[in-house]
Amino acid sequence: METAALAAIAQRRSGTYWLLSRLVLEAPGSAFLAELAATLDTVPPDATPPLGSETLALRDAVRGASAAPEAPMALAVEHTRLLAGLAKHYGAPPPYESVLREDKLPGESTIAVSEAYAEAGFDPPVPEAGPADHLGAELRFLALLCHREREAWQTGERAAAAAWVERQRAFLDDHVLQWVPQHCQQVLEFAETPYHRAMFTLIARACLVDRDDVAELALCGADAADGG
C-alpha cells in the first residue's frame, strides 16, 4: 500500500479516536450536539459494516436530542451519572482502567498507562480528567499515536510509522481491550437515553474493530519499512 494511503488511514483513525474521546469528556450540551450532528450528517444513510449500524444509531440519537429543547439538560445529567463516578449507588462504575481491573484508584494500571504516555513522548493527554487511566484519556492517547503515525508516513519515515503502529497495538492489547469493552457493557446497564446507549456501544465496538485494522496495518507497515 502506498504511504499516502497509509497516511490517510492514520488520519481517519486519529479522527475517530479523537471523536470518541470527546464523547466521553464533553457533556452533550446544545453546541456540542449541533457540532456532532453536522459531523454525523456526512455519514451515508447506507453506511456499511463494521461500524455502520453503530454510527447511524448515534446519528439518529443526536438528531432526536437536537430536536428536543429539554434534551441537552437531561443528557448532561445522565452524562454525569454515567461518567463522573460519583458513588456506587448513584451511577455507573468510574471510567478508570484500574477500577475495573483492580477495584482501586489509582492502581498499577494507572502507573502503567502513565509510563506508556511518557515512553511515547507525551504528557498525560487529559490531565483535567484525573488519573491517567481515564477512558477519555486512553482514547485521546490513541488519537495522538495515530496522528504521529500519519506525520511519519507523510514525511517518508517508514520505520518510524511502523513503530507508531506497534505502540498502538501494544496499548490496545495491554490496556484498552483489557477493560474498555467490559466497562462499556457495564455502563449500558445504567444508560437510559438513546444517545448514551449508542455512544457506549460505538466506543466498545470501535476499539475491537480497530484492533483488527492495526494487525493489517502492522503488516503494511513492515512491508513499507522494508521498502516493499
Q: Is the pLDDT of residue 222 over 70?
A: no
> Three cell numbers at 11?
488520519
Decide yes or no: CATH 3.40.1280.10 for domain 3-225. no
pLDDT of 172 reads 98
**Mean pLDDT, range 68-82, rounded to an integer:** 91
Digit-coded pLDDT (tens) for 116-136:
999 999 999 999 999 999 999
Nearest CA among 216, 194, 200 for reference residue 136: 200
Nearest CA among 126, 125, 128, 137 for reference residue 96: 137
pLDDT of 91 reads 72
Whether residue 81 contacts residue 91, with contact meaning beta carbons closer than 8 Å, is answered with: yes
| Structure-derived torsion over alpha carbons of residues 199, 201, 202, 204, reported in degrees to the nearest 10 | 120
Whether residue 103 contacts residue 88, with contact meaning beta carbons closer than 8 Å, is answered with: no
Confidence of residue 76 (pLDDT cuts 50, 70, 90): very high
pLDDT of 227 reads 55
Q: Is the pLDDT of residue 87 over 90?
A: no
Digit-coded pLDDT (tens) for 161-171:
999 999 999 99
Confidence of residue 13 (pLDDT cuts 50, 70, 90): very high
Whether residue 113 contacts residue 133, with contact meaning beta carbons closer than 8 Å, is answered with: yes
State residue 84 phi and psi, 5-degree precision. -80, -20
Confidence of residue 34 (pLDDT cuts 50, 70, 90): very high
Parse the chain into domains and list their residue ranges. Answer: 3-225
**Mean pLDDT, range 78-94, rounded to an integer:** 80
- Average pLDDT in the chain: 92
The span from the CA of 180 to the CA of 67, in Å, is 31
